[in-house]
Amino acid sequence: MHDGQMRASGDPYFSHPVTVAMLLAEQRLDDATIITALLHDTVEDTGATQAEIVHRFGDEVAQLVDGVTKLNNLELSSVADAQAENFRKLLMAMSKDLRVLLVKLADRLHNMRTIRFLNAEKQRRKARETMDIFAPLAGRMGMQWMRDELEDIAFRILNPEARASIIRRFLTLRNESGDVIPKITEDIRIVLEAAGVEAEVFGREKKPYSIWRKMQEKKEGFSRLSDIYGFRIITRTLPDCYTALGAVHQRWTAVPGRFKDYISQPKSNGYRSIHTTVSGRDGKRVEIQIRTREMHAVAETGVAAHWSYKDGERFENPFAVDPFLWLRSLTDGLDDAEDSSDFLEHVKLEMFTDQVFCFTPKGDVVKLPRGATPIDFAYAIHTRIGNSTVGAKVDGRRVPLWTKLRNGQSVTIIRADGQRPQPSWEEMVVTGRAKAAIRRALRDEKRATQIRLGREIARVALARIGKKATDKALATAASRLALEDEDDLLARLGAAEMTGRDLVATLYPELLRDADGADADADEQTVIGLGSGQEARPAPCCMPVPGERIVGITERGKGVTIHAIDCAKLAAYEDQPDRWLDLRWTGSGGRAEHETQIEVTMANDAGVLGRICTLIGEQRANITDIAFTDRKPDFYRTLIDIEVRDIEHLTNVLTAIDADQDVAGVRRYRPVQNAAEE
C-alpha cells in the first residue's frame, strides 16, 4: 500500500511502519499490536479501507488501526484550548485500548529519531509537543527508556546550548577523574558477592535533560548535583533485594531522605524498585536501584508488560498492571476540571510527578504527588474536607498548611464549617484535583459577592425612578438581555460589566428617555411605495406599526390596506399578485399614534389594573380602550388598545408590564392570529 511513497529523509515510506513494529517487537508485545504498527498509516495515507483491514486481519487489529488513525488526526500542538480538548480525546481513545497509545508512542519515537529532515519550525513544534505530552505519557506508562530518549531528542532541538554544556561538563569530569562507572560497578559486585547475593549490576550516566531538569528544580549548578550517576542491581528473588540493600548500606553511608521503597508501595503503573542514594567511591553520591528481573521487565516496559510474550507464549508477569486500572488512576479525580485547559494542566501535573504515600488517622493509604501538602491530602479524601480545612497535624504535631509531606507520614486534617478556601492555597497545592476545587470555590465565592453587590446596585437604580427591584423585574430584564437568569444579571452588575442605568434602560427605556429630555416629536414615520394619489390605512387584522416589515393590498375604492408581512389574511391574496405593493416605513421617532392591542393576564387584586395603566402611561403610550375577556377569582385577562410610536416602543411597553410582579403574562394581540390559536 505504501509503494511509491517516500519519507522526508528520502527513504521508502514503508521503512517507517517496519521500524515502529520492530520497536514494539523488542518490547515483546502481542501479535495484534505489532500488526497494527505495520498497518498504522495505511488507512490514513493510502487507498486501504477500514473494511479491508477487518476482512484481512480481523476486528481486533481493525479497531486498533482505527484508534491510531484517530490519534494521528489530533493536532496536539495547536492553540491551548484546542490542544487541551484534543488531549482529552486522546485519553478517551486510550481508555478503549491502551495498545493504541503504545503504537502511537513508538511512531513518535521513530519520527523524533528522523526529525532532522524537517524544517526548523516544524522540528520545534514537534519537539515541544513531545516534551509536553508524549514523553511524560511514556514515563507515566513506565517506559522510562522511551521517555529518556524522547526528552533527549526534544531537548537537543529546544535548548541545544544547554544540552551541549552538560555534555561538555561530563567530558571534563571524565578527564579529571576517569570513567568512574566501571569502578563503582565493580565495587558493588564485590559487596554483593560477599553478602551471597547473585545479581547483575549496571551503571550509567544520567541523561542530559534529566540533569538539566534537576538543576532547574534545585537551582544548583552541575558540580553540586549528587546523583548524576545511576546504578541498577537486578536480583533473582525478592528477599535478595533487601539483602542487597543491607549490604550496600553497610558498605557505604546512606544519604538521609533519599530512600524510597517502591516494592512495598508500588507506583500505579506497576513500577517496583528500591531507590537509595549513598556516598560511594571518593565521596561521590550515586543513586542505586534494586529490583528483581520481573520487576525490571515492568520497569522497562511499564504497562506494556501486560501484553508481554516470551518464546511465543503469553508471559504472565505478576507485577504487570491491568491497563484499565492504570488509566483510571491517571484520570481519577480530574472530573472536577471546569474546562479543557484545566484538564490538560492537571493531567500534565499527574504525569510529571512521583508519588508519596501518607496515612489517614484510620490507617488508610493516600497516594499523592511529590511536593504535596496537607491541603492536597484533604482534597484527595473529599472536596468538602478540603474546602473546610483550617489546619493539619503531621505525625501528631501541628504544621503549617504549606508543609511538604513525606512518605509514611500520618496526616490529620483540622476542619471548621465556616472555613472557605483562600486564594493563597492555589500556590500551595500540586494536585490537579485540589487546584480545580480551590479555583471553583473561589469563583463561587466571588460570584456570590458580585450578586450581593449587584442586588444593591439594582435596588438603588430602580428606586431613583420609583420602581422596585423585584425578582420578577430582574428575571424580565435577564430574559430581555438574553442572560441565563437573574443571578447572572446581578453578577454582571456587581462585576461592573453593566450599570444600573443599563438595567433601567432595559426595563423602562421611556422613563430614561424622559430623564434624558428626549424629544418625543421627532421625525414622523411615513409609508413609502404608494402610487400617486393613493391613501393607506393599517389593517385591523394585524395592526402593523413602524419597524415591522409591511406590504400593501389595493382595495377597490378603498385605497391601500397595510398588512404586516406575517399577517394570516395575506394568504387570501396569494393568487392576486397584481394587488400587492412593496411598502416600507421611513422616518424616525414620531408620535405615539399607531394603534395596536396587547393582552395582559393579571392578578385580580385591588390596584393592579391601575398600576398597569400607570406603567403604560409612564412608557409614553396612550390607552384608547380596555376590555375584559376572561374573569376568574384570582386572575383576569384584559385587552388594552394602545397607541405606540413603533415596534421598539411596543416592546418597551410589554417589557415594563411583564416586570410587574402581579402580571402572569403579557403579549401583543392580533385578532386574526389569536382567534385562530384559541
Per the prediction, the chain carries an average pLDDT of: 81
Answer yes or no: 44 catalytic.
yes
Evaluate whether 347 touches 87 at the Cβ level (below 8 Å). yes
Task: Select which of 11, 31, 44, 220 is catalytic.
Answer: 44
The pLDDT of 20-25, averaged and rounded, is 92
CA dihedral 620, 623, 627, 628 (to 10 degrees): 30
What is the per-residue pLDDT for 226?
A: 53
Identify the CATH number of the domain defined by range 162-314.
3.30.460.10
Q: Give the mean pLDDT of 529-540.
A: 82
| Among 30, 45, 52, 502, the one annotated catalytic | 45
**Cα–Cα distance for residue pair 191/196, rounded to 1 Å:** 9
Architecture of the domain delimited by 15-158: Orthogonal Bundle (1.10)
Residue carrying the nine cell digits 534537576 = 214
Chain segment 578-603, per-residue pLDDT in tens = 888 888 887 655 665 788 999 999 98
What CATH code is assigned to 594-677?
Answer: 3.30.70.260
Note the pLDDT of residue 239. Answer: 94
The string of pLDDT tens digits covering residues 291-302 is 999 899 888 877
Q: The whole model's pTM is what?
A: 0.52
Which residues are within 8 A (CB) of 17 and not within 5 positions of it... i.e. 6 or more apart?
Answer: 2, 37, 38, 39, 40, 41
The CA distance from 549 to 651, in Å, is: 16
Domain boundaries of the chain, sorted by first residue = 15-158, 162-314, 441-507, 526-586, 594-677
Residue range 490-508, pLDDT digits in tens:
988 887 788 888 888 888 8
DSSP 70-86: HHHT--TTS-HHHHHHH
45 catalytically annotated? yes
Q: What is the pLDDT of residues 206-232, one digit of tens each?
A: 788 877 877 766 656 555 555 677 899
Residue with cell 508500588: 266
Does 576 score more than 70 pLDDT?
yes
pLDDT for 84 equals 53
Q: Which residues lie closer than 8 Å to 445 by C-beta, 6 or more apart?
A: 420
Residue 8 in grid coordinates: 522526508
10 CB-near residues (< 8 Å, 6+ apart): 117
Number of H helices, E strands in the chain: 28, 22
Question: Residue 585 pairs with which residues in a beta bridge?
Answer: 527
